[in-house]
Structure 1
Amino acid sequence: MLSLLCAFSVLPLNIFLPTLPSIAADFHADYGLISLSIAGYAAVSAILELTMGPLSDRFGRRPIALTCLVVFVAGSIGCALATNIQVFLAFRVLQATITSCYPVSMAMIKDTAGKDQAASRIGYAAMAAALAPMLGPTLGGVIDEAWGWRAIFWSLGLAGTALFALCWFTLDETNKNRSSTIRQQLEAYPTLLRAPRFWAYGLCMAFSTGTFYAFLAGAPLAAKVVFDIPPAMLGFYMGTVTAGFVVGSFVSGRYARGYPLTVTMIAGRIVACAGPLIGLVILFTGARHPVAFFGPCILIGLGNGLTNPSAFAGALSVRPNLAGSASGLAGSMMILGGAALSSMTGAVLTEANAAYATLCMMLLAAVIGLIAAFYVLLLDRREALA
């Protein structure tokens, strides 16, 4: 159930991407204005990650998940019925509430499992969440061709209603130690931010995600100017990194419970560092085949799939009574880390350095994530000696 919630929380982000030109034409709107349906969605998602997690600590996980689904369904129906771009964007913002189901699901996993077992379960949930955006654009394109772009939002509304019914009958409340006041929740973030261990886990996740976003920012330009890859093939090459994440998440889910969190975190970061490093070595030898660039980048996805479930489980275990707040704050750190690395990569990219600069930025982010993972190991050893 929680894996399904995680998958559905990320599906609406990109399922409608193939239809953006159709939506722009239908509303006679500028394409740049239509793109706000992505940027605005992401911005609202980051804010909601910070608020819904603490609210789930105060009022319970189940009511927050159900409320998010209700608002999402309303937003989906509003998008389907929109008569102009302003109304469409307003209801698109309401759709962003579904993203809060991800941190709430992570908190529910932590509520029902120990630290090591939580890493394993989070690995499986992350695998489901990675599969959804891989399949989403294809599914959206098929629906658009058959029934038009509005059918995508009708389908999301119908799916959200079905998920609400499923959660209503099968999803039990897992937060047995709710905080007594909202003030207590407002004090949660300073408590977490004063914990060095939470910073270590959070920064490890942020820079792991940032490595992938650096790839997203630089790979399209490198594909065009260095490797002359046609757009149809670019989607395939970029999808291999997400496929690597799915594999890494599966391995984490299968084996993480047998090892300390730091083992899988450090192993994942080492694998992720190896990807851009190998790519740089190959490019310096003069190779100009797309596989020379995209092949090693698969290790980025594999390493992130190994690292993030354990790091997320660790972040939630710093203050178990604040699992919802920790989940929301960690999720926001991941979003902000991705946005920062994407912007930094875009700032240094030129047509002349596209491949090298992208790999260097990826390597920088991966190394910082590795340092954060080693800092967790240092904290573990200090506690063992204390």
Structure 2
Amino acid sequence: MTRTPPRLTTLVLMTALSVLTLNMFLPALPAMGESFGVSEAVMGLAISGYMACAAVFQMSLGALSDRIGRRPVLLGVLALYVVTSLVCLSAQSIEVFLVARAVQAVAVAGGVLSSAVVRDLYDGRMAAAKLGTIATAMAIAPMLAPILGGFLDAWFGWRAIFAAYTIFGLAAFVLIWADLGETKQRDPARQAGRVTALLKEPVFWAYTCVLGFSVGAFFTFLTGAPFVASQVFGLSSDQIGLVLGSITLGYMLGAGISARTVERVGAMPLILVGRGLPLVSLVAALAVFLAGFGTLWVLFAATMTVGFGNGLTVANANAGALAVRPEMAGTAAGLAGAFVLVTGAVLAGLTTMVLSAQATPARLILLMVAAVAVSMAAALLARRWSKALPAN
């Protein structure tokens, strides 16, 4: 069994699998609803239910990896992922599909534990820079995933997407087995006290709220955009995939700038710019739509700034949360990731509810404005409370 630290590309692919599992099937949601004979609200459970279950998995798997190590947890997760992908592929009822889809949420362990591995190996701004590099590279996944999912649905049907998940899971298992050496120094005896100390740190929760509501704005977009794009702008599933994928160009640019500049300028200035820019652009876009001049391009120009802002924010806020208690990196990553997904599940459910009544661009933008505004408030609190932390 390998004992060496993993290559950076392995950490990228670990993270990418969780993103692929979340959003590659989104362009096929309308076709899946027709196939199972259910409403948009029921199909929305494939997103909100997935994220709620992923939150539970993140809390338990992150803490488990602090006790027994990163490698065995990831190998077990990937084996389960392959099985559940096969069940989704062959499901004949919406109940079976939704249960398997919920368990498929174990894929989120890839993102959580890649962050923990980075924190095992690096400190301070170097950890933020490495996380930013991973974010830049893996941004290709959310950009290409909806495009690939849209074309698979258009040419082969939605089940082909879950066949692709199965193949990805098998390939990831082989990669982790060959390359991911154990990076965690185990010390389970003091873990309970450390968890309690982590939970009492207000700066940890401030950074976690930055993460939760920054990514939550993106989840709101991913959930609502397919319905707005099809009902208001008349786009097909493959066109929706192209539109959803385009927003991550902004994320890739922001993450690339962050990775190159964080060691020089620090994380907090990047976080604040990453929160302020999308807030201003979304408010401006909302005003344009309310005035009756909105177009598809206005909507997606504004939402691309959400991607850019998240690129500046997410890796740095994640590094800040993990730096509070470095010896509990797995638990901290799991708790922060769980909060992100609970927030995302709530916002996705709210988005489905609001847009099921009437799918309009203004409603979608207003929901995103609210999420970004909360993340900005949390960033200001994190700045106030984190002055004593290293590499901030």
Q: Would you call these one fold, judging by a TM-score over 0.5?
A: yes
Q: Are 1:119 and 2:128 counterparts?
A: yes
State whether residues 204 and 370 of structure 1, in contact with CA within 8 Å, keep that contact through their aligned partners in structure 2: yes
Q: What amino acid is the match of 2:260?
A: R
Q: CA deviation at 1:255?
A: 2.1
State whether residues 150 and 241 of structure 2, in contact with CA within 8 Å, keep that contact through their aligned partners in structure 1: no
Specify which of 242, 266, 269 is matched with residue 248 of structure 2.
242
Q: What amino acid is the match of 1:92?
A: R
Q: CA deviation at 1:31?
A: 5.6
Specify which of 163, 166, 177 is matched with residue 172 of structure 2.
163
Q: CA deviation at 1:339?
A: 3.0
The percent of aligned pairs where both chains have the same amino acid is 36
Q: CA deviation at 1:168?
A: 1.2
CA offset digits 1:313-365 (Å, max 9, x no partner) = 01011000110010011111111222334455566679899444443443333
In structure 1, what is the Cα distance between the partners aligned to 2:31 and 2:288?
41
Q: CA deviation at 1:83?
A: 5.9
- Counterpart of 1:180? 188
Structure-2 change in CA distance of 1:150 and 1:213 (3 Å): closer
Q: CA RMSD in A?
A: 3.3
CA offset digits 1:253-278 (Å, max 9, x no partner) = 22222221112111211222222133
- Listed as ranges, the matches of 1:241-320 within 5 Å are 241-283=247-289, 287-320=293-326
Specify which of 38, 63, 84 is matched with residue 54 of structure 1.
63
In structure 1, what is the Cα distance between the partners aligned to 2:320 and 2:379?
11
Structure-2 change in CA distance of 1:216 and 1:83 (3 Å): closer
State whether residues 248 and 301 of structure 1, in contact with CA within 8 Å, keep that contact through their aligned partners in structure 2: yes
Specify which of 317, 320, 328 is matched with residue 322 of structure 1.
328
State whether residues 6 and 128 of structure 1, in contact with CA within 8 Å, keep that contact through their aligned partners in structure 2: no
- Counterpart of 1:3? 12
In structure 1, what is the Cα distance between the partners aligned to 2:151 and 2:354?
37
Question: What SS does structure 2 have at the residue aligned with 1:230?
Answer: coil
State whether residues 188 and 325 of structure 1, in contact with CA within 8 Å, keep that contact through their aligned partners in structure 2: no
Specify which of 229, 232, 235 is matched with residue 233 of structure 2.
229
TM-score (norm 1): 0.84
Structure-2 change in CA distance of 1:216 and 1:158 (3 Å): closer
State whether residues 275 and 298 of structure 1, in contact with CA within 8 Å, keep that contact through their aligned partners in structure 2: no
- Counterpart of 1:336? 342
TM-score (norm 2): 0.83
In structure 1, what is the Cα distance between the partners aligned to 2:99 and 2:228?
35
Specify which of 189, 194, 204 is matched with residue 198 of structure 1.
204
In structure 2, what is the Cα distance between the partners aligned to 1:345 and 1:151?
27
Q: CA deviation at 1:199?
A: 1.2
State whether residues 278 and 372 of structure 2, in contact with CA within 8 Å, keep that contact through their aligned partners in structure 1: yes
Specify which of 122, 143, 153 is matched with residue 134 of structure 1.
143
Q: Unaligned regions of 5+ residues in structure 2, if any?
A: 1-9
Q: What amino acid is the match of 2:255?
A: S
- Listed as ranges, the matches of 1:36-55 within 5 Å are 36-55=45-64
State whether residues 52 and 345 of structure 2, in contact with CA within 8 Å, keep that contact through their aligned partners in structure 1: no
Q: What amino acid is the match of 2:306?
A: I
In structure 1, what is the Cα distance between the partners aligned to 2:224 and 2:157?
32
In structure 2, what is the Cα distance between the partners aligned to 1:61 and 1:208?
27
Structure-2 change in CA distance of 1:93 and 1:298 (3 Å): closer
Q: What amino acid is the match of 2:335?
A: L
